[in-house]
Amino acid sequence: MKLQSNMAWLFMLPTALVMAFVAVVPMVTVFNYSFHDIFRLDQLFWVGTEWYETIVSSPRFWASLGRSAAFSSLVLMIQLPLGIGIALMLRRAKPGTANLMLMCLAIPLVVPTNMVAGLWLALLRPEGLGGQALTALNLTLDYKFTAVHTWILILIVDTWHWLGLVVVLAFAGLSSISPAYYQAAAIDSASRLAVFRWIELPQIAGALWIVLLLRLVDSFMIYTEVMTINAGGPRDATTFLSLQLGEEIKAYSYGSAAARAMVNFLFVLTLVWVFVKLRQSRDSLGDKAT
Amino acid sequence: MSRAGLFRTLSLTALAAFVLLPFLQAVELSFTITRGAEGAPAGTFGLHNYANILGTPALRDSIINSVIYVLLNVIFCLVAGLPAAYGLARYTFVGDRHFLFFLLAFRVTPPVVLSLPIFILFARAGLVNTPVGIALVHCVFNLPIAIWILESFITAIPRSFDEMAFIDGHSRTGFFLKFLIPALAPGIAVAAFFCFIFSWVEVVLARTLTVTGGKPITQAITSLFSFQTDWGLVMAMTVFSLIPGVLMIFLVRNHIARGFVVRT
């Protein structure tokens, strides 16, 4: 049992101070800027909600929102089932093999984000290993000018980068299942599908909810990889939400960039809030059941 | 071998190839001279690219810069995160859930959103181009992680452990230094691992805060790209940037999964 004491806020003080400086003050600053027209930082002109109106009425914004939503959906549909499938497969492999595979899968996670795409571009150069393999198979990957190919490449690169996270966490959840559950299932002659649905899935759900949130938000706000591969092209086909924001920051349009940053922050906040609420309601349901 | 076993072996081999292929290419290129020079024609193998890194002050310094701010960030996160994690593990208080909610929200806020005001704020505070600035700003996403990890490890220690120390007459500070930190060593290692990795791979904020000096290794790599990129040199630098992460994975290979048990 935990003690109830509001003095515990004293323990939060160092963290609260650091977060105030690096997160809260910047966020409030952005919020303030988003209502101003700014030529130089010492000349602010109040424009009210004008920037927000411009964003909401711009077809380009809605198009990039749609693209980001589509990209996130694809990422989740590919990476979660694939990661869980691999984790299930590793559970049946020899422990040594499983451990080695987990370490391999973790390596892409420690690649600096600007080189994630860089490694793949090096591989796909005409004289690179991947480029030669494609030529030998008589395939082309025209990621500079064909939108579908750019999307495929970004999805491959993102999956390569993050698959390890899903696998490692799903595997950890599966490892914590006591053998007694499997024995009970065997006595009931439960099908493979039933074992997954009623024994394995509930065990990995706890670890997976944070993967789901991280993958959802990170893919929704993907920036560096897409920038490296084709800078949002061809013809805006991979201009996602944060790339539009990046464009405005580079163009020094502080006011409208701030409004766009607020809009993006609002998306993130909403997603986190929905997640926390869903999890709390699920937990309280669980409490009632026991 | 059964049919299922054969299928599993084939799938895992294909997966390993998919994961490792880009690294194979990078290592191969890093040992290949891609831009010919006198006495070292293009296409030959050798340590030329690595010698080039050590001979170029900008590249050498960037590695040192990165190591400094990453280590500083780990220290900041542990020093600020440890008391917070302890408070959250042992007490309930008004607003604790909201505190955790905002930690989670800032952890997932994309750096692009914060880059503009952070630059302005840090420029006023004189923290641009310094390792301290980058180390501080990386706390946005690393401090929440450090707190979650440490909290889950502290919760695993029974509270009687604390009370014994207090009965023996140790102060709160003495308890932290002499009892809690030694008992928490594995948790601190896992937290340090994640902070190290996330700070090492972050690009957007580190770039924003280094205008003229103190460039991190990631920026040094980006600046090598040009109309005629010397891929051998780029890949040698990339291989360098992978060494700490791969070492870390090896060191904590049995504990990695603990880090993501998040409470809200």
pLDDT at A161: 93
Sequence-separated (6 or more) residues with CB below 8 Å from residue A189: none
Cβ atoms of B59 and B122 within 8 Å: the answer is no
Residue from A241, A266, A98 nearest B253 by CA: A98
> Is the confidence at residue A287, as pLDDT, over 70?
no
Averaged pLDDT for residues B158-170: 86
Q: Which domain holds residue A187?
A: 66-255
Cβ atoms of A182 and B44 within 8 Å: the answer is no
pLDDT one-digit tens code per residue, B200-244: 988 888 888 888 877 888 888 888 887 777 888 889 999 988 998
* Average pLDDT, rounded, for chain A: 86
Residue A104 belongs to a domain: yes
Q: Which residue in A has a C-alpha nearest to residue B122's C-alpha?
A: A22
Which residues in chain A have Cβ-Cβ distances shorter than 8 Å to B200?
A: 110, 112
Residue B8 belongs to a domain: no
Residue from B151, B152, B143 nearest B102 by CA: B143
Q: Which of B8, B19, B261 sits opposite A89 (nearest CB)?
A: B8
User: Which of B25, B155, B157, B162 to substitute to test the interface with A, most A CBs within 10 Å?
Assistant: B25
Residue B248 belongs to a domain: yes
Residue from B216, B198, B201, B109 nearest B146 by CA: B198
Higher confidence at residue A199 or residue B35? A199
Residues recorded for chain A: 290
Q: Is B72 on the interface with A (CB under 8 A)?
A: no
pLDDT at A20: 93
Q: Which domain holds residue B131?
A: 56-260
pLDDT one-digit tens code per residue, A10-38: 999 999 999 999 999 999 988 988 888 88
Sequence-separated (6 or more) residues with CB below 8 Å from residue A269: B105
Residue B252 belongs to a domain: yes
Banded pLDDT at A285 (limits 50, 70, 90): low
Beta bridge partners of B40: B37
Residue B37 belongs to a domain: no
User: Which of B30, B62, B113 to substitute to test the interface with A, most A CBs within 10 Å?
Assistant: B113
User: Residue A236: phi, psi to the nearest 5?
Assistant: 70, 5
From A28's Cα to the closest Cα of chain B, the distance in A is 9
Residue A182 belongs to a domain: yes
Tell me the CATH number at B156.
Answer: 1.10.3720.10
pLDDT one-digit tens code per residue, A242-261: 888 888 888 777 888 889 88
Beta bridge partners of A3: B91
Buried/exposed code over A83-117 (b: 16+ C-beta within 10 A; e: otherwise): bbebbbbbeebeeeebebbbbbbbbbbbbbbbbbb
Cβ atoms of B198 and B145 within 8 Å: the answer is yes
Residue B174 belongs to a domain: yes
Residue B23 belongs to a domain: no
User: Residue A38: phi, psi to the nearest 5?
Assistant: -125, 115
Q: How many domains does the structure of chain A reveal?
A: 1
Phi-psi region of A273 (alpha: psi -120 to 50; beta: other; left: phi over 0): alpha
Tell me the CATH number at A106.
Answer: 1.10.3720.10
Q: Is A129 on the interface with B (CB under 8 A)?
A: yes
Residue B141 belongs to a domain: yes
Q: How many domains does the structure of chain B reveal?
A: 1
Sequence-separated (6 or more) residues with CB below 8 Å from residue A22: B118, B136, B137, B139, B140
- Contacts by residues B194-197 (CB-CB < 8 Å, ≥ 24 positions apart): B194/B142, B194/B145, B194/B146, B194/B149, B194/B259, B195/B73, B195/B74, B195/B77, B195/B78, B195/B138, B195/B142, B195/B145, B195/B146, B196/B70, B196/B71, B196/B73, B196/B74, B196/B244, B196/B248, B197/A109, B197/A110, B197/B245, B197/B248
pLDDT at B218: 86
Q: What is the rounded distance in angstroms from the CA atom of residue B27 to the CA atom of residue A64?
A: 37
Residue B186 belongs to a domain: yes
Q: What is the rounded distance in angstroms from the CA atom of residue B202 to the CA atom of residue B41?
A: 35
Q: Which of A5, A15, A92 sits opposite B91 (nearest CB)?
A: A5
pLDDT one-digit tens code per residue, A173-195: 787 777 888 888 888 888 888 88
pLDDT one-digit tens code per residue, B85-136: 999 999 999 988 889 888 988 988 888 888 888 988 898 888 888 889 999 9
Averaged pLDDT for residues B179-185: 87
Inter-chain contact B139–A19, Cβ cutoff 8 Å? yes
Residue A85 belongs to a domain: yes
Residue A94 belongs to a domain: yes
Q: How do strand A3-4 and strand A36-38 relate by DSSP bridges? A: unpaired
| ipTM of predicted assembly, 2 dp | 0.85
Other C-beta atoms closer than 10 Å to the C-beta of A277 total: 11
Q: Which of A7, A89, A221 sits opposite B12 (nearest CB)?
A: A89
Residue from A112, A204, A197 nearest B260 by CA: A204
